[in-house]
Amino acid sequence: MNDKHNKLYDKQPQILIIGGTTEGRIAVKVCDESAKPFFYSTKNASQKVDSAHSIRISGGLDDNTMATFCHENNIRLIIDAAHPFAQNVHNNIGITATKLNLPTIRFERKFPPYNKLLRYFDSFDDVIQYLYEKNIDNLLVLSGVNSVSKMKRYWQQIPCFFRIMKREESMAVVNKYNFPHDRVIFYDDHKDDLELFERLKPKAILTKESGESGGFSQKIETAIALGIEVLVMKRPRLPYSATATIEGEYGLRKAIENLLPNFFELKTGFTSGSCATAATKAALTMILTGKPPTEIIITLPNEERVVLPIYKCVLHSKISATATIIKDSGDDPDVTKGFEICSTVALNPQSLEIRFLQGEGVGKVTLPGLGIDIGDPAINPTPRMMMRREVQETLEQLADESNIGVDITISLPRGREIATRTFNPKLGIVDGISILGTSGIIKPFSKEAFVKSIGREIQVAKALDVRQLVLNSGAKSERYLKNAYPNLISQAFIQYGNFIGESLQMANNIGFDNVVLGVMIGKAVKLAEGKLDTHSKKAIMNKEFIQSLAKEAQCSNHSIEQIGNMTLARELWRIIPKAECHFFDILKKYCHTTCSQAYPNGKLTLFLIDDDGNLW
């Protein structure tokens, strides 16, 4: 352990991550998002970790030093990202957590389901007994250097190979137990298992149930394809009860937010698609078991499983139930935050399909371009995929007959009211909100939600064969631009907010070759300086830059001096006299140059809009 860190951070660090694993690196990445310091402990210092805020310690922590370290460094949460077989580490974490009454998060790996083609063992003694009984020689051991000691009585009699990491500490173990060096194979990132297996031709391989991040599936698939018997050491049970168990970055972030609320400035949430999926699975589970679940595990599009709480379940009949979930949007300013999302599920013996029916408060699609059939409920493709997957897996696990139809009706009691505060009316979605989500998770940034809505509007405009797209900052500028382009349909006008760059880039990528951009003067002076995101948190008015434009336009010294004294950019309309209006042409030229970075291919018409609605 690096003693220099003791008592160095008496108050600020609150998290200790343990484990030089793939999961450990993910945990570091997640905690880095807080921009606060935290500790990351690994057994050795050889692992490279990219981190801006972690304080690295190495050398291992036993139960006494771990408890002392946590007490002296204000640790309020331990994240156990150690290898599944690191039993001593898990024991020390459990002892420390109990002694100091600390919450723990176990970052578990994803493990493939039981495979009947493999032979599983609880101990190395059981493995050795099986090897003797079956007269297996030429064994290839892939279970790590610590297996050298545990397999010693076997390899002393029957030669076998061990694949290990090429590290000093690994070779120290080899030398300690006098294992033959010519039987050591070093792990090579550049060579796959197939080449090794074909060269050694082992009768069997011994590996650990190390999970997907340990390359477990790849090893066994290659061995089975070559007819090599696969022996698997079962992963041991965790010796303590973790406060939360997660298996990915989203679940980890959510668990930290719950257990250490002040660590992240903003909290994440779940999309309406994830909420609808959880409610659907809960309703189906109640039909098949008769019991109302209080929480449900769903799988996100990235294959990570997360847990969502269920607000209530109602069983209507033997084949129908409704489950309700309260929308958790975190700190994202989502209009559905805190509202009920309901799913009514009904088994349909007359059908083999999973169907989505129209529910109250969920919009109906009336225009093309959204990837949903006209007339269908506004449930986007990714939430539909998520719900279909959970329904199918739940039927296979719980139903006597999994080949049965299921009707899903998603509803929001206040959906019609909420929809008036969304872009849905312009998208041609009537009578309710959309069920959305591509990742299943809402990150606590309004930008992400807003930019995605802009993208959907542009897609609709393209599907409606709009030839000229008109981008504007908000309702006021849109009203002025509609007066200038009275023949364009309403879907041709799209509000970019502060995200000029993203809007132009999406228009370019989707294939619009004619775009009109309307800019109010406050955004224009930022855009001209090269700021494609004009939010006040990202860009401020630079009066010196504006004065340089005035000089280029040969404005009077009086005008230049007034620019230096102005408070708001809109004062330029008063400051610049008609005789010096070439200034606005210069301003537009610089704006156009900036915009060409995001929209390089098509024709861009740019207007400055004054407070009276005049276009320049």
Report DSSP letters for 92-160, one per residue: HHHHHHHHHT--EEEEPPP-PPP-TTSEEESSHHHHHHHHHHTT--SEEE-S-TTHHHHTHHHHTTS-E
**How confident is residue 91, by pLDDT bands cut at 50, 70 and 90?**
very high
pLDDT at 442 (0 to 100): 87
Indicate the pLDDT class of residue 565, thresholds 50, 70 and 90.
confident
* pLDDT higher than 70, residue 50: no
Rounded CA separation 202/138 (Å): 5
Average pLDDT over residues 468-484: 89
User: What was the pLDDT predicted at 8?
Assistant: 47
Q: How confident is the model at residue 539 (pLDDT cuts 50, 70, 90)?
A: low
Lowest mean pLDDT among 200-204, 267-271, 539-543: 539-543
Please, what is the angle between helix 582-598 and helix 521-528, to 10°?
Answer: 60
pLDDT for position 229:
96
In terms of Cα–Cα distance, which of 146, 149, 130 is closest to 229?
130
Cβ proximity of 268 and 330 under 8 Å: yes
Give the mean pLDDT of the chain. Answer: 90
- Over 50: is that where the pLDDT of 559 sits? yes
Rounded to a whole number of angstroms, the distance between the first and last alpha carbons of the chain is: 66
Which SS3 state, helix, strand or coil, does residue 541 take? coil
Q: How confident is the model at residue 465 (pLDDT cuts 50, 70, 90)?
A: confident
Quickly state the pLDDT bin for 585 (edges 50, 70, 90): very high
Residue 403 is predicted with a pLDDT of 86
Domain(s) of CATH 3.40.50.150: residues in the chain: 119-233
**Mean pLDDT of all residues in 306-320:** 96
pLDDT in tens, 248-265: 999 999 999 999 998 988
The whole-model pTM stands at 0.71
Residue spans in the chain of domains classed CATH 3.40.50.720: 3-110+239-259
C-alpha distance from residue 198 to each of 43, 191, 192, 202, 613 (Å): 34, 12, 11, 8, 76
Q: What is the mean pLDDT of residues 49-55?
A: 77
Could you give the CA distance from residue 477 to residue 189 in angstroms, rounded to a whole number?
57
Domain 3-110+239-259: assigned CATH number: 3.40.50.720
Higher local confidence (pLDDT), 453 or 402:
402
Please report which confidence band the pLDDT of residue 164 belongs to, taking 50, 70 and 90 as the band edges: very high
CA distances from 86 to 81, 93, 126 (A): 10, 11, 20
Q: Specify the fold of 269-442.
A: CbiD-like (3.30.2110)
Residues of the chain with CATH 3.30.2110.10: 269-442
The matching CATH number, chosen from 3.40.50.300, 1.20.1070.10, 3.40.50.150, 3.40.190.10, for 119-233 is 3.40.50.150
Closest by CA to 418, choosing from 406, 402, 434, is 434
